[in-house]
């Protein structure tokens, strides 16, 4: 079991951020966490990364139960977390290669001498993700798509059991988005690769490799299960409270609002 949430709620002041969330993720599954802005996705990710504990409920991530042991650093070392918020925290002088290598040490910036093994692994990951040609360029001069690839490479350096991609295509144009999604699909197809949680509020980004989906709405689980059974016109019309149409093309869903005559 990668993740197990049982009746998890999180209250801050008078606001319920998460309310009775149940979620189980088995090793080898790849999940989409789908919800609109304000649905509670960020709170749920912060919880999984042990940045706070639940107000009520039981949380077990990678076999570590919250409250039973001090787990924050140990847990986060096994989770690859990719978020645009990390970009601004990276040292301004680091190049793409150094950013990737820093993932081996779970540091923001490369502050120690690396080993030959770490260096080789960094080159291999850069090559696999198509980043090798700009490995020596300053990270902050890269395009948004290039930056996201490098951050994914950084996350993979530690061989995480769980890889969380928090809206990785935000701000990308169509071509850059599709190129990044191809890289993510490649990672998902690897038998020895990490379990992936892909966070988005864009239905069309759901890849065939993501066979499980959790629909989060107003801090509650609206539904969860097999993607191909969950993502349909009827279910999402209920989810959005407006009539919508889902059309599956090339193994991916396309969403549009239904025009009422």
238 — alpha (psi -120 to 50), left (phi > 0) or beta? alpha
- 172 lies in some domain: yes
- 57 lies in some domain: no
Tell me: the pLDDT tens digits for 69-78? 656 678 888 9
By the 8 A CB rule, do 185 and 207 touch? yes
Higher pLDDT, 124 or 109: 124
The CATH number covering residue 42 comes to 3.40.50.300
DSSP 114: P
- 67 lies in some domain: no
Is the model's pTM score more than 0.75?
yes
Instruction: Round the average pLDDT of the chain to a whole number and report it.
Output: 93
- 101 lies in some domain: yes
- 251 lies in some domain: no
DSSP 118: H
**Beta carbons within 8 Å of 135's beta carbon, 6+ residues apart:** 95, 96, 97, 100, 123, 126
Residue 17 has pLDDT above 70, yes or no: yes
Per-residue pLDDT, 51: 87
Q: Number of structural domains, the chain?
A: 1
219 burial type by CB count under 10 A (0-12 exposed, 13-18 middle, 19+ buried): buried
Residue 86 has pLDDT above 70, yes or no: yes
**Reported confidence tier of residue 112, pLDDT bands at 50, 70, 90:** confident
Q: What is the spatial distance between Cα 8 and Cα 24, in angstroms, rounded to a whole number?
A: 12
What are the distances in angstroms from CA 167 to CA 150, 236, 260?
15, 20, 31
Structural domain including 167 reads 29-50+76-232
Tell me: the pLDDT tens digits for 20-75? 999 999 998 999 999 999 999 999 999 999 888 899 999 999 998 888 765 667 88
């Amino acid at each position: 079991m990668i993740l197990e949430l049982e009746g998890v709620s999180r209250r801050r002041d008078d606001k319920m951020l998460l309310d009775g969330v149940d979620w189980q993720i088995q090793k080898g599954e790849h999940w989409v966490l789908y919800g609109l802005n304000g649905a509670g996705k960020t709170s749920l990710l912060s919880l999984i990364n042990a940045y706070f504990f639940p107000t009520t409920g039981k949380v077990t991530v990678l076999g570590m139960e919250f409250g039973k042991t001090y787990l924050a650093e140990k847990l986060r070392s096994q989770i690859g977390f990719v978020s645009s918020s990390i970009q601004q925290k990276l040292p301004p002088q680091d190049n793409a290669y150094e950013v990737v290598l820093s993932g081996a040490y779970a540091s923001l910036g490369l502050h120690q001498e690396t080993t030959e093994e770490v260096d080789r692994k960094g080159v291999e990951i850069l090559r696999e993700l198509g980043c090798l040609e700009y490995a020596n360029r300053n990270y902050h001069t890269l395009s948004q798509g290039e930056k996201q690839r490098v951050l994914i490479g950084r996350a993979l350096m530690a061989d995480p059991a769980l890889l969380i991609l928090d809206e990785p295509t935000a701000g990308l144009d169509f071509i850059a988005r599709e190129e990044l999604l191809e890289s993510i699909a490649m990672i998902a197809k690897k038998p020895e690769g990490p379990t992936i949680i892909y966070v988005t509020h864009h239905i069309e980004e759901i890849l065939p490799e993501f066979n499980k989906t959790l629909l989060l709405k107003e801090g509650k689980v609206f539904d969860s299960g097999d993607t191909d059974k969950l993502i349909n016109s009827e279910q999402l019309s209920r989810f959005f409270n407006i009539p919508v149409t889902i059309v599956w093309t090339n193994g991916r869903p396309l969403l549009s609002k239904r025009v009422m005559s």
